[in-house]
Structure 1
Amino acid sequence: MARTSRRREAAKLMAKPSVKAGSSLDKLKVDPDDRISKLPNDILLNILDRLDFRDVTRTSVLSRCWSQLPASLSRLKISALSFMPSQTSISDDESGGTLLRINAVNAANAAVVKATKSMLAHRDPGGCTIRLLSTVFYLRGDAPISIGHTVGNAMATHRVEKAELIVLTEKKGHMCSIADLANYGTRFVSFFNECHNAFAGLTRLYLENLSFRESDFVSNILVTCKQLNYLGFFNCDTEDWKPLQVEHAQLSDLSIVDCCFDMVELTWVPKLTWLALEILGSPEEPPLVLGYVPLLRVLRLSTIARKMVKLSSFLHETSVRDLTLGFKCEKIWVQPESLTRRQAYVFQQLRILNLVKIPEGYDLTWTMFFLEAAPSLEELYMMVWEHRCEMEMNQEFSKNKGVEWESRTSNFKHHRLAKFILVGFQANDYMVSHARRVLKAAVNLQDVYLYDRLVCAKCQNKVEVARMYDAVVRGMCLGVNLPIKFPYTNEDQRAVQKRMPRGIGSLAKIHFLTSKEIRAEHLPRIIGGC
């Protein structure tokens, strides 16, 4: 009987598509076991806050309840990248690809404008606080100014805790000419001048591929954006190469990467805790002056310098705990020192050290200076790499890249170092000797991770790199001077292990890993340092 009645009900619904039948269909669409929709709104909103904007909009068609939730979201994240078709990301170098990408950028920008206005228009100004208002868009057409006005109005009429603008360009950094950078810089200045209200309330700002005609324009950004906690520049410069002076009361994170500034002077940044600086071609060495930065804890500094730098003087009024130094496969610009007690104070708080792109083939004994200077060091990362597409092909840089140092302390022991990670390891005498040196000094060392060379991202599309292939071909691809001698086989690994702890008594475990086996906890340090 039950089966017969169900068949009759189904027949009625199919034979009479009336309003009543439609409501029955709506009921059938609702899963009686849908427990998610029955959750409290605050939990549902917490779920939606973690989704991409396009996924949030899709949920609004599930039911009337779901359709009302987006107006109460605490985190509004609207990105043009979500509206970009995937195929355009590889079309820059193809015939007609530029026009295709521009059209896609225009469409994505229009979608961001529409979505931003729609999301904010449906919110109650006296309702819940907007914890984060984040918009990602391209610096093209009228969209930036429209978005800027919308964001500025939202700040004036709603409670907004954090506001973020990520400003992209339709061309990628490596594709931009000098004219492109100047054009983008002009566009941004117009955008900035039209939307002061939006910039005045920003807490995060990221800019890329801009060249500013006026050297003090970056200072104007800092003066206007008084609430900034984070400021990021990528591939930016000023035409007259004047120093960039930074004074800001709220700034805690500053990132200046692949930029051409004569000098960055952190005159007064009392809340700065994180700094990443990669300056290209600066005549100053190093291109950074650390003024009043009492809270600086994380420093990433990558540059090419001809002169030696004494870190004890350079970092004299900081308490850096996490330090990354990049050498770009060129000359070692750190001067190992025999520290006095007063100078040694600079390194007392150092916990993590990452030495990136040390030129290959040079003695590594100088790095032991850091172990002696930093008694609290717990993790030591080193990347030895010499790659032609990363190097300045200059005879002045091609010789005398190494530095000599001899410890005045015999039988030095370090008691805190627990992890030693060496990327670009080869079974050459100078590398095996250095690993043995660290094992001998670090008496409580637990793990040593020896990685093969990384594969250059710029070469991946040119040559399919296999794990085992002819050393000469691989050396040509990677642009290195020495053949690779990484111990891939168990037999070779055992031979290397026997050469290291002999007569030392170290209990550290030695791990041999290829570049495809980078551990999750090492990945941010290894890849992030490149």
Structure 2
Amino acid sequence: MGKRDRDDRLSSLPDDILVNILDRLNARDAARTSILSRRWSQLSSKLSQLIINARDFLPEGLSSDNMSGDDLVRVNAAAVEATKSLLTRRNPGEHTIRLLSTAFYLRDDVPISVGHAVGNAMATHKVEKAEFTVLTEKQHLQCTLDDTVNYGAQFVSFFNECLDAFSGLTRLYLENLTFAESDMVSNILVACKQLKYLGFLNCETESWMTLQVEHAQLSELSFVDCCFGEVELKWLPRLSRVKFVIWRVYKDLPLSFGHVPLLEAVTLVNVALSWHKMVKLSTLLSETSVQELHLGFKCEKIWVQPERLTKRQASAFQRLRIVNLDCIPEGYDLTWTMFILEAAPSLEEFYMTVMDHPCEMEMNKRRRRKASYSKRKGVEWESPTPNFVHHHLTKLIIFCFESSMVSHVRRVIKAAVNLKDVYLYDRLTCHNCEHLERLKPNTFPLSKKHRCSMRALLTQGLHSHARIRFLSIDGIHDEHADMILF
């Protein structure tokens, strides 16, 4: 009797509330509710969000890292069936699809089946956002050149067969593809006229030529470990965010900005070798109005060139509000980071992570020499205005703080006269590094007495009202956690 009462209570809710509940489920669970009753079957045809991810159909206890070829075929087939089932039971034009997101593996005819289903939905329903996440059977680091060439050919066939679906996409993510045609990326941009986000992981063209990117709608671009030749963001009037990660085969950063009037956030990450040229940020950002800058060094050589700026060069930094320097190698002078503070008068938040990752780094000395890793990773810089004053910085956040950084923190506190908060975090936890011996002992102040003495040392002789906090990673603030790139 109690169970029936609970069922009646749920059934008494109006349709719009039940649909809202179903919208919060993944496609697999939402589709299952259709068997409960005729009413529930009708409700699933009114969903405003259809998020269908092949990985959601994995059996319990199985992950995408350890599934077999047969498992992949099964989950892919389930994703196709869910896509068709959820779309075919809808009445054309009756309910708007606010989000139609599909993630599937590039295998057999599954992409084409999904593409046709999505294309038909676009023709018969109002679809506000449509997304393709195209996955490959092998992970990035497992792929050979033959694998990526094969995946690239499969994607091209899928693309050519489903142009109607691609023309309505607002988000497209691609991984592990080698394109035989150098203009394939341009073809994608031409076909996907509604695209807002475009992301590539481990993608390239066989002949590296200059890629000139022009698109009226794109607001976010991501290139991770890709080889497309020089990437010129030539005309992107709505672009707001760019991520460019790893350019290991190029001496110079193969990225330049043209007409990007709304660009706000730039993320650059590289494992710099001895022959990589330093990047002058004033040159790269000279035609932009960037407000957030995220730079990652992967525990290797600092690849940013500290600059003594002319008035014209300084314009590139005028609107910077947030700077995040990630995975700065341990054991080197941090004075060079002050050039950013001096160059960016509007800077409000300054993040730094100083940490070595043995799990990611090449530790073998012979292999390091052979691959031309730098022996010295730091960079020297002396401020032309050692007594400069900064008026807008309010937050300094350092992850993996060590006692050796005291002088640098004092330098920032002295310069930033309106600094309000200094967050000094203990060493970050890397699960892959946990079983490895630390390269250096941890000198973070753990005891209350040690913290009090270090706090006094940080502010001795300085007239600052900044509140200094020593925090463990367990107590990390949400907004700070979002800034950790690794």
Q: Please indicate, yes or no, whether the TM-score normalized by the shorter chain is above 0.5.
A: yes
Structure-2 residue corresponding to 1:496: 454
Structure-2 residue corresponding to 1:474: 437
Letter in 1 for 2:352: M
Structure-1 residue corresponding to 2:416: 442
SS at match of 1:458: coil
Larger Rg: 1
Which of 369, 374, 378 pairs up with 1:398? 374
Q: Which moved more, 1:173-182 or 1:73-82?
A: 173-182
Matched residues in 1 for 2:6 and 2:277: separation?
A: 73
Q: Please report how far the alpha carbon of residue 251 of structure 1 lies from its aligned counterpart in structure 2 after TM superposition.
A: 0.7
Matched residues in 2 for 1:272 and 1:86: separation?
A: 40
Which of 506, 509, 515 pairs up with 2:464? 506
Structure-2 residue corresponding to 1:97: none
Structure-2 residue corresponding to 1:139: 106
Whether the 8 Å contact between 2:33 and 2:44 is mirrored in structure 1 is no
Structure-2 residue corresponding to 1:421: 397
Deviations 1:177-233 (A, max 9, x none): 222222222221221121111111111111112222222211211111111111111
1:487 aligns with 2:463: no
1:65 aligns with 2:39: yes
Matched residues in 2 for 1:377 and 1:214: separation?
A: 43
Whether the 8 Å contact between 1:262 and 1:282 is mirrored in structure 2 is no
SS at match of 1:376: coil
Structure-2 residue corresponding to 1:200: 167
Q: Please report how far the alpha carbon of residue 457 of structure 1 lies from its aligned counterpart in structure 2 after TM superposition.
A: 4.1
Letter in 2 for 1:499: L
* 1:111-126 mapped onto 2 (5 Å cutoff): 111-126=78-93
* 1:364-403 mapped onto 2 (5 Å cutoff): 364-391=334-361, 394-395=368-369, 396-403=372-379
Matched residues in 2 for 1:500 and 1:366: separation?
A: 19
Which of 332, 335, 341 pairs up with 2:302? 332
Deviations 1:263-321 (A, max 9, x none): 22111111110111103313241221111111100110112453222212210111111
Matched residues in 2 for 1:309 and 1:136: separation?
A: 36
Whether the 8 Å contact between 1:261 and 1:282 is mirrored in structure 2 is no
1:74 aligns with 2:48: yes
Matched residues in 1 for 2:460 and 2:178: separation?
A: 56
Q: Please report how far the alpha carbon of residue 518 of structure 1 lies from its aligned counterpart in structure 2 after TM superposition.
A: 2.8
* 1:513-524 mapped onto 2 (5 Å cutoff): 513-524=471-482
SS at match of 2:350: strand
Distance 1:412 1:86, change over 3 A: farther
Whether the 8 Å contact between 1:88 and 1:104 is mirrored in structure 2 is no
SS at match of 1:398: coil
SS at match of 2:98: strand
Which of 181, 191, 196 pairs up with 1:214? 181
SS at match of 1:114: helix
Letter in 2 for 1:522: H
SS at match of 2:332: coil
Which of 93, 96, 107 pairs up with 1:129? 96
Which of 104, 109, 128 pairs up with 1:161? 128
Which of 96, 99, 108 pairs up with 2:75? 108
Q: Which moved more, 1:301-310 or 1:376-385?
A: 301-310
Whether the 8 Å contact between 2:247 and 2:253 is mirrored in structure 1 is no
Q: Please report how far the alpha carbon of residue 340 of structure 1 lies from its aligned counterpart in structure 2 after TM superposition.
A: 2.9
Distance 1:474 1:513, change over 3 A: farther
Q: How many residues align structurally?
A: 477
Matched residues in 1 for 2:259 and 2:432: separation?
A: 39
Distance 1:194 1:212, change over 3 A: same
Q: Please report how far the alpha carbon of residue 68 of structure 1 lies from its aligned counterpart in structure 2 after TM superposition.
A: 1.1
Q: Please report how far the alpha carbon of residue 32 of structure 1 lies from its aligned counterpart in structure 2 after TM superposition.
A: 6.7
Matched residues in 1 for 2:125 and 2:95: separation?
A: 9
Distance 1:132 1:333, change over 3 A: same
Q: Which moved more, 1:512-521 or 1:434-443?
A: 512-521
Distance 1:488 1:86, change over 3 A: farther
Distance 1:212 1:517, change over 3 A: farther
Q: Please report how far the alpha carbon of residue 491 of structure 1 lies from its aligned counterpart in structure 2 after TM superposition.
A: 2.8
Structure-1 residue corresponding to 2:406: 432
Q: Please report how far the alpha carbon of residue 389 of structure 1 lies from its aligned counterpart in structure 2 after TM superposition.
A: 4.4
Letter in 2 for 1:200: S
Instruction: Let me know the Cα RMSD of the aligned residues.
Output: 2.2
Whether the 8 Å contact between 1:263 and 1:282 is mirrored in structure 2 is no
Which of 244, 248, 259 pairs up with 1:292? 259
Greater than 6 Å deviation, 4+ residue runs: none
SS at match of 1:500: helix
Structure-2 residue corresponding to 1:345: 315
Whether the 8 Å contact between 1:245 and 1:265 is mirrored in structure 2 is yes
Q: Please report how far the alpha carbon of residue 36 of structure 1 lies from its aligned counterpart in structure 2 after TM superposition.
A: 4.2
Q: Please report how far the alpha carbon of residue 388 of structure 1 lies from its aligned counterpart in structure 2 after TM superposition.
A: 4.2
Matched residues in 1 for 2:382 and 2:212: separation?
A: 38
Which of 326, 331, 355 pairs up with 1:356? 326
Letter in 2 for 1:509: R
Matched residues in 1 for 2:406 and 2:6: separation?
A: 66
Q: Please report how far the alpha carbon of residue 365 of structure 1 lies from its aligned counterpart in structure 2 after TM superposition.
A: 0.9
Letter in 1 for 2:142: M
Runs of at least 5 residues in structure 1 that lack an aligned partner in the other structure: 1-24, 93-99, 464-472
SS at match of 1:525: coil
Runs of at least 5 residues in structure 2 that lack an aligned partner in the other structure: none
Q: Please report how far the alpha carbon of residue 122 of structure 1 lies from its aligned counterpart in structure 2 after TM superposition.
A: 1.1
Q: Please report how far the alpha carbon of residue 391 of structure 1 lies from its aligned counterpart in structure 2 after TM superposition.
A: 3.9
Letter in 1 for 2:127: V
Deviations 1:76-125 (A, max 9, x none): 11111110124332763xxxxxxx52212111111111111111111111
Letter in 2 for 1:403: V
Matched residues in 2 for 1:33 and 1:213: separation?
A: 57
Distance 1:107 1:334, change over 3 A: same
Structure-2 residue corresponding to 1:8: none
TM-score (norm 2): 0.92
